[in-house]
Amino acid sequence: MVGSAIVRKLRADGYENIVTRTSKELDLRDQRAVNEFFAAERPEYVFLAAAKVGGIMANNVYRGQFLYDNLMIEANIIEAARVNEVTKLQFLGSSCIYPKLAPQPLTEDALLTGPLEPTNEPYAIAKITGIKLCDAYRAQYGCDYISVMPTNLYGPNDNYNLETSHVLPALIRKFHEAKKAGTEEVVMWGTGSPKREFLHADDLAAACVFLMHNFSDYGFVNVGTGEDLSIFSLAETIKDVVGYEGQITKDTSKPDGTPRKLMNVDKLHAMGWKHSIELREGIERVYASLGSADWY
């Protein structure tokens, strides 16, 4: 989702010499394969958007896999970029790097100030390591490597697998299938009280290209909208967009996760960038484009 959005943005801005690989074409966990790719292609700028990702259940169940795969992906690419003298690299992390009970909204200096949310701790640790690798390579080797921390994302090419998806696409699929089947209720995980922030992938892509041009420093930059809503309010919005007329039932036996994850985006706003796609508009765009989805 993120990689394709960045490619769309680069092409829209007139960039033509774009090198990409799918996970089937190049296993980024394979150090030799990654080294051979960099040696052959010699990229000048790298957007490191690849990751093993999933929702709250996948993060909690596949803990070893999420930690190992993400550590290998980022370490292999960052080292290969150094060896092959990449001009600039941008590492994309996640808002889950922040402590579970960090003050809201989350400011960049809250990193490593408290315990992480247990359900996604392995993924968060891998992403924190990526930030620190970029900082360490900047300090030791003078590499211009930067880090960007997006909030929760959605958009074209999202994952709608109910076992591994994040909350927004999962709810879109649940409401759509319930509408088609005439089901009287849709079951939502948890209490619905946790609050989340959502950013359209096209807005993230615009921010990533902006930061590649305008940010070169240690640390990282939060990328989000600076606005959040409860999961239950999100469900009600999606229900309305889909046109589902049944009930929303809460399954409180399922975990809520972190109570709130609102990003402070003052640093990004001060640089001159702000999101342009509001949440309801973004959900409407996504839902309208799903006619070709294999499950739709």
Predicted pLDDT of residue 256? 85
For the chain, which residues make up each domain, given as ranges? 2-289
Residue pLDDT, tens place only, 176-224: 999 999 999 999 989 999 999 999 999 999 999 999 999 999 999 999 9
Instruction: Tell me the CATH class for 2-289.
Output: alpha beta
Question: In which band, very low, low, confident or very high, does the pLDDT at 25 lie, cut at 50, 70 and 90?
Answer: very high
Catalytic, out of 62, 98, 123, 244: 123
195 is in an annotated binding site: no
Describe the crossing of helices 279-288 and 231-242 by its angle, rounded to 10 degrees: 40
Predicted pLDDT of residue 292? 63
Helices (H) and strands (E) in the chain, counts: 10, 10
% the chain with pLDDT above 90: 85
30 is in an annotated binding site: no
% the chain with pLDDT above 70: 98
Flag whether pLDDT at 28 surpasses 90: yes
100 is in an annotated binding site: no
Residue 154 among the catalytic residues: no
92 is in an annotated binding site: yes
Residue pLDDT, tens place only, 216-239: 999 999 999 999 999 999 999 999
Flag whether pLDDT at 160 surpasses 80: yes
- Mean pLDDT score of the chain: 94
171 is in an annotated binding site: no
Instruction: Report the Cα–Cα distance between both ends of the chain, in Å, rounded.
Output: 18
What whole-number distance in Å separates Cα of residue 108 and Cα of residue 222? 7
Residue pLDDT, tens place only, 101-155: 899 999 999 999 999 989 889 999 999 999 999 999 999 999 999 999 999 999 9
> Of 161 and 286, which is predicted with more confidence?
286
The pTM for the full model equals: 0.92
174 is in an annotated binding site: yes
The dihedral over CA atoms of 198, 200, 201, 205, expressed in degrees to the nearest 10, equals: -110
Residue 287 sits at φ, ψ, to 5 deg, of: -65, -35
Mention every residue, 6+ apart, whose C-beta is less than 8 A from residue 34. Answer: 26, 28, 76, 77, 80
Token output for 160: 């709608």
Residue 157, judged by CB atoms within 10 A of its CB (0-12, 13-18, 19+), counts as exposed
Q: Which has the closest alpha carbon to 146: 225, 80, 48?
A: 48
